[in-house]
Amino acid sequence: MRAGRRFHRTVAGGAAALLCAAALSGCGPDDGGTMAARPTPKPSPTPVWDRSPASIAAVGDSITRGFDACQVLADCPEVSWSTGTDATVDSLALRLLGPEGAAARSWNLARSGARMAELPQQMALAAAERPELVTVMAGANDACRERPEQMTPVADFRASFSTALARLRSGAPKAQVYVTSVPDLKRLWSTGRTNPMSRQIWKLGICGSMLADAEDTSPAAEERRNLVRARVVAYNEVLREVCATDARCRYDGGAVFGYPFGDAQLSPWDFFHPSKDGQARLAELAYRQVTRA
């Protein structure tokens, strides 16, 4: 029995040595007669986010339409931060596609006055164009109502945004989505409230929930403004959370909400919408977010 065992160990050891030699592997003296496994090289994964999309569709509200940026009470899409062709603004489309590409391969489907409930319809229109990138800026009109109690409930806001993304995915499953945060409306009030001209314009009914009685700093007025700001913060959290469920969606991380827009960045006609300079700042923020690694 002992001799048989030695015979079998000798044969097994010899077989292992032959296998090591045939495979040119590094079977060292401590391998115990086994072959050392070689790691298989893995190809680098293709990034989900493409930092140089070749076409852009824009959805949202009056900010993306360039309202009151060129003349009073009029859209001016050529200065839109997303798809505009004005060189002084240097829109996201101009930066990514160049002048010819911005003119031929971008679509501005936003509508002045639109609220989040309209976004599913706009997303369906965007999907039909098969863009590689869709920009979203919506939510300010949901907070900017005549009175705070008229603001869109957060649950409704979430449902509309979720439906909008699903509508895009059904028609353009690989389109990337860049979502901006809703601007800080209270910061805007704080910037313009000391300007006599802006106070007069705001009395015409612009964003009454935040801007009405701009000089009133009573506890009741402060509570009203804080309520509106809290709703904007809640909207932005919805945008962040819903966007995070989609691998091809990128939220701006609060960049627009946190940007300190000053007088130069506000329309000289309503002191609320972005001026050309304000549109340029939005374009810069967008480009930074879309192209970051």
> What does the buried/exposed string (b/e) look like for 152-174 if buried means 16 or more CB atoms within 10 Å of the residue's CB?
beeeebbbbbbbbbebbbeebee
In DSSP notation, 138-151 reads: --HHHH-SSSGGGS
Cβ atoms within 10 Å of 48's Cβ, excluding its own: 10
What's the pLDDT score for residue 203? 93
Walk along the chain (293 residues) in steps of 10 and give the mean pLDDT of each run: 43 40 41 52 67 98 98 97 98 98 98 98 98 98 98 98 98 98 97 92 95 96 98 98 98 97 95 97 98 95
What's the pLDDT score for residue 48? 85
Q: What is the largest CA-CA distance in the chain?
A: 108
Beta-bridge mates of residue 44: none
CATH of domain 56-291: 3.40.50.1110
**Orientation angle between helical segments 154-171 and 219-244, nearest 10 degrees:** 30
Listed by start position, the domains of the chain span 1-29, 56-291
Q: How many CA atoms lie within 13 A of 117 on its CB side?
A: 10
Closest CA to 164 of 117, 119, 111: 119
